[in-house]
Each structure stands twice: as C-alpha cells, then as structure tokens.
Amino acid sequence: MSALWSYLEYCLTPDECCADIFSAPLDELIKNGVAGILLDVDGTIVESGMSEVSEEVVWWVRSLVEQGLKVCIVSNSRQKWRIAKIAEKLELPYVCHAAKPLRGGLRRAACLLELNPNQLTIIGDRLLTDVLGGKRLRMFTVRVEGANLHGRGLMAWLVRLLEGCFASMHRSRFSRL
Ligand SMILES: [Mg+2]
C-alpha cells in the first residue's frame, strides 16, 4: 500500500509550482537541459473555454522561442477550431483532444518537436491531466495556479477535491506560492 501511495504521490507532485506561466523558471529549465515546452491551454495560457490570447502571452511565448526552446500546445479540448486559432496566434504547432494523462497525445507533441519526452517540460494547471501525464513520460512538470475545474456534478466535485488535497500538500513544499 505504501509503494502505491509513494507512486501516486510521485505522479501527482509537480517538480515546480508557479503562480502563472510568467513566473515559470525558464533559465533554470534551460540550464538543466530542457529543450522543449508543452503548453496546456485552458487555465494555463487562456481562461478556460476562451480563444483570445493576451499580448502578454504572445510576448512570453515569443521569448521562449527566442531562447531556443521548441514549444507545442497540448490540449484535451475537442474544440479543434479554438485550439487551432490559439496556436495560429502563437505560431505554434498543436495537439488537441490529447486525452492527458494518457501518453499518446503527449508523445505526438514530442514527435512534432522532434524531441524525446525526457527533454521536455510540461506546463499546465491540472494535476490529474498535465502533471500526471508528464510524470508518466518522465517529463519535468510545472504546475501553474489556473482557473478552477469547470463542470458540476459528483465527478467534477471529486476531482476538484482530490486535486485540492494534493495542491495543498504542494503549497507546503514550495515557497514560490
Ligand atoms: Mg488546463
């Protein structure tokens, strides 16, 4: 039981926690050999369900590329038109309907960037999709404080409760928050 708990804790504990994408430790990541960034969309670079990208985000993504990082959008959204519009604005490749935390979509993104998963960092707001999926492929994981999980009903409530429990554990470990 303790081995299972340890594995669960490993999978749901991001390597870094940040208030938002702008405070992600890019210099450290580059210094540690990270060559590419996978970017979640909803709750990470835009508010959930939105398709307008702020100029601040455009500037931030541009600075990633100028620093030599390869960047790809990876979203679980099925709204291809919306993710394509965001990707076009940011001039990035994208994978939508990625089904994180399954590994297929993340592997597709790694292929698009022509990098191995262990050269990548995933930045996202959700423990049970972005962090869990990234950890399963041995990526470096950065969790940003995003918008709360959308949706109502028992399942959404349970997911929110579980993520809240793990997030509060992380807060006690990371001084950034
Ligand atoms: Mg998200």
CATH of the domain at 14: 3.40.50.1000
Task: Write out the residue range of the structural domain in which residue 16 sits.
Answer: 2-173
Residues with CB under 5 A from ligand 1 (ion): 40, 42-43, 125-126
Give the distance (Å) from ligand 1 centre to CA of residue 1: 30
Predicted pLDDT of residue 147: 53
Token readout for 148 is 């709360």
Q: Count the domains in the chain.
A: 1
CA of 161 to the centre of ligand 1 (A): 16
What's the confidence (pLDDT) of residue 7? 83
Distance 169 CA to ligand 1 centre (A): 20
Residues with pLDDT less than 50, the chain: 175-177
| CA 60–ligand 1 middle distance (angstroms) | 18
The alpha carbon of 115 and the centre of ligand 1 are apart by a number of angstroms equal to 23
d(CA 78, ligand 1 centre) in Å: 13
CA distances from 119 to 36, 66, 82, 106 (A): 6, 18, 28, 12
* Ligand 1 geometric centre to CA of 173 (Å): 22
Question: Which is it for strands 94-95 and 16-18: parallel, antiparallel or unpaired?
Answer: unpaired
| The pLDDT value given to residue 177 | 41
For residue 42, report the distance from its CA to the centre of ligand 1, in Å: 4
What pLDDT score was predicted for residue 45? 96
pLDDT at 171: 59
What is this structure's pTM? 0.86
Distance 104 CA to ligand 1 centre (A): 17
